[in-house]
Amino acid sequence: MVASAHVRRIAPAADQADATARLYQALYGCTMHPAGLLHAIGAILEAEAEGRFTLAQVAADVADQADHALVRDGADAWRHHVMVELCHRLAGTSPS
């Protein structure tokens, strides 16, 4: 007897750098495409289930990137601030 295949609805992120880029882009553009945020998180959770990296690790990376962008980009400071706050919550950390 052959075991049934596990069918995924979302392919896992290829690696942590890909996951970080996808989450950053999804958070930055989620006001236009909210489904992209769910898809990015789903891909990270699939990779987490495979034991490759965690949502907390990726969220911490994105928080760092958004924090650096916050300093550079005054026009979108509000957006980067929200991204930092959300990522700290996803990572289970508090902003310093």
Write out pLDDT tens, residues 78-90.
888 999 999 999 9
Whether residue 32 is predicted with pLDDT greater than 80 in this model: the reply is no
The runs of H, that is alpha helices, within 1-96 are 16-29, 34-49, 55-72, 77-91
Cβ within 8 Å of residue 8, ≥6 positions away: 46
* pTM, to two decimals: 0.81
What is the CB neighbour count within 10 angstroms for residue 82? 13
DSSP 12: P
Per residue in 11-26, pLDDT (tens digit) is 899 999 999 999 999 9
Q: In this structure, what token pair is assigned to residue 85?
A: 């706050």
The span from the CA of 21 to the CA of 61, in Å, is 9
Looking at residue 14, what is its pLDDT? 93
For the chain, give the mean pLDDT.
85
Looking at residue 6, what is its pLDDT? 56
Q: Which residue type does 74 have?
A: G
